[in-house]
Amino acid sequence: MLRGMVKKYFIKTFGCQMNVYDSNRMANMLEDMGLAPAQNQKDADVVVFNTCHIREKAAEKVFSDLGREYEIKLERAEEGKDTIIGVTGCVVQAEDAEILKRAPYVDFALGPLRYYRLKEVVEEIFNKRDAKLLDTEFSAVSKFDNLPENKSLGGCSFLAIQEGCNNFCTYCVVPYTRGVETSRPVSDILKEARRLAETGSVELNLLGQNVNSYHGEDENGKERNLAYLLNKVAEIDGIKRLRYTTSYPADVDDDLILCHKNLKKLMPYLHLPIQSGSDVILKKMNRRHTRDDYLRVVEKLKEANPDIGMSSDFIVGFPGETDENFAKTLEVVNRVKYIQAFSFKYSKRPGTPAAVMDNQVEEAVKKERLAVLQELLFDYQLKFNQGSVGKVMPVLFEGNGRHKGQLTGRTPYMQNLYAKADISLINKIVEVRVNGASMNSLSGEVL
Ligand code: SAH
Ligand code: SF4
Ligand code: F3S
């Protein structure tokens, strides 16, 4: 325990849901140490930046934000307050020792597989102010075995069931920053799921970089797949809604498709990234699926549950992408009619094969293609949202909305919904009649 006044912490999270999960675990650890959450960075004695390396912009933002944090640290020093600055996440893994050179005022840097050491590291720095620490080992010990119990921080929680990725898509840094794919044992996951339910979660989102290749062992040492795990988690009474993300198209098996037919708790929404609609580009990306493989999976999913809504990630301007290749991506969008999607301009990542491929696409072309793709995607998203008007949907309220007396929550389709509602409804699932729609959100009336 730390002596003196109650210290405060602030965690800034960049990147994907895995980082959100990791940040929650770190918050748990800091609170176990007696630290309280700070309202803002200026108020925090310990600041942690949990970082993302996926695209150049994401990584560069970390350094500019760190620079600002250093200014805050200097201002606080003038008031006689000490500040510990830590960096965790994928930028640490990728930059390694460089990070302490580029941002020498950083006190500690822990890789995504090493943050379980947070408590020990922060204590050491509190006690011995000149200590600096960097740990980016890819160790054989699982971080999950070294973390204190997970505590729910809201009605909807992420639960990491897997870490790392073996797919090595040629544009992607994840296999290098998170290491090879490892699945957690079934019993550990069920224990964490029960604990999250007991502490207030009603929705669980099972996480992995390639979550549907899950193959953890059960108590008898038998390998089990994601479908088995979903069925097991669904048996927990307190859990009313289930999701899983992110899936890899080539690894969607028939068991999983059956879950979308039979498992009532599984939400009718699936994020299944295709990245490109062109087989030529998919091959260069080292994706293990063609356009047709992907469309067949979507078809089977729609047969299993005709109400399913699809979402995807897209990359435009991958090296060698022609206008023709790009047109194939638009074709897929028109076929699948995504209800939501994320799209990005290809970004060169050091050390990945695509970064040194010939025929890199000009920035202006990438920009134009992204605009064209997004216009189409946004149009489908708006149409889907407009189609929700008049329907009654179960909404899980998550927090306060933009206006007073208003809450914000999520529909089964991950749509953001705003409604006038009492704060006692936060973390509850409530029937709401949808009465308005825009591209980004719905409005509704609690029944
Ligand atoms: N494991 C998930 C998510 C990976 S990262 C999956 O396989 O789908 C999230 C998204 O970022 C990817 O789906 C991809 O669309 C995008 N992305 C990854 N690397 C990128 C790069 N170098 N440039 C642009 N977008 C990238
Ligand atoms: Fe990256 Fe591909 Fe793995 Fe997704 S599946 S994390 S895009 S390497
Ligand atoms: Fe970013 Fe690492 Fe996630 S690079 S997207 S935080 S796995």
287 Cα to the center of ligand 2, angstroms: 9
CB 258 within 8 A of CB 268: no
19 Cα to the center of ligand 3, angstroms: 7
Q: Which of 209, 272, 315 gets mutated to test ligand 1 (max ligand atoms within 8 A of its CB)?
A: 315
Q: Which of 56, 90, 172, 374 gets mutated to test ligand 1 (max ligand atoms within 8 A of its CB)?
A: 172
Dihedral angle computed from the Cα positions of residues 387, 389, 394 and 399, in that order, rounded to the nearest 10 degrees: 110
Q: Tell me the pLDDT of the chain (447 aa) as tens digits.
A: 445 678 999 999 999 999 999 999 999 999 999 999 999 999 999 999 999 999 999 889 999 999 999 999 999 999 999 999 999 999 999 999 899 999 999 999 999 999 999 999 999 998 887 778 888 988 767 888 888 888 888 899 999 999 999 999 999 999 999 999 999 999 999 999 999 999 999 999 999 999 999 999 999 999 999 999 999 999 999 999 999 999 999 999 999 999 999 999 999 999 999 999 999 999 999 999 999 999 999 999 999 999 999 999 999 999 999 999 999 999 999 999 999 999 999 999 999 999 999 999 999 999 999 999 999 999 999 999 999 999 999 999 999 998 999 999 999 999 999 999 999 999 999 999 999 999 999 999 999
Q: What atom in ligand 2 is closest to the CA of residue 173?
A: 1
The CA distance from 384 to 309, in Å, is 9
Q: What atom in ligand 1 is closest to the CA of residue 348?
A: 22
What are the C-alpha distances in Å from 326 to residues 224, 320, 330?
38, 10, 7
Which residue ranges have their beta carbon within 6 Å of ligand 3? 15-16, 18-19, 52-54, 89-90, 173-174, 177-178
418 Cα to the center of ligand 3, angstroms: 29
Task: Spell out the long-range contacts of 300-306 with Cβ–Cβ below 8 A and sequence spacing 24 or more.
Answer: 300/252, 300/254, 300/257, 301/252, 301/257, 301/260, 301/270, 301/272, 304/257, 304/258, 304/260, 304/261, 305/260, 305/261, 305/268
Which residue ranges have their beta carbon within 6 Å of ligand 1? 54-55, 171-172, 174, 209-210, 246, 248, 273, 275, 313, 315, 344, 346-347, 349
CB 165 within 8 A of CB 210: yes
The CA distance from 113 to 107, in Å, is 18
The contacts of residue 230 (CB under 8 Å, 6+ apart) are: 206, 242, 244, 256, 259, 263, 266
Q: What are phi and psi of 297, to 5 degrees?
A: -60, -45
Q: What are phi and psi of 395, to 5 degrees?
A: -115, 130
436 has which bridge partners? 443
The residue whose CA is least distant from atom 3 of ligand 3 is 16
Domains, the chain, in order of start with CATH, read 8-135 (3.40.50.12160), 149-267 (3.30.750.210), 392-446 (2.40.50.140)
Supply angle C-alpha 312, 113, 198, rounded to 5. Answer: 75
The one-letter amino acid code at 374 reads Q
The contacts of residue 434 (CB under 8 Å, 6+ apart) are: 388, 389, 390, 391, 392, 393, 411, 417, 442, 443, 444
- Look up residue 279 and give its two tokens: 């087989």
Helix (H) / strand (E) element for 434: namely: strand 429-437
3-state secondary structure of 359: coil
Q: Which of 53, 166, 209 gets mutated to test ligand 2 (max ligand atoms within 8 A of its CB)?
A: 209
Q: What are phi and psi of 305, to 5 degrees?
A: -145, 100
234 Cα to the center of ligand 2, angstroms: 27
Looking only at the bridges linking them, the beta strands covering 241-245 and 269-271 are unpaired
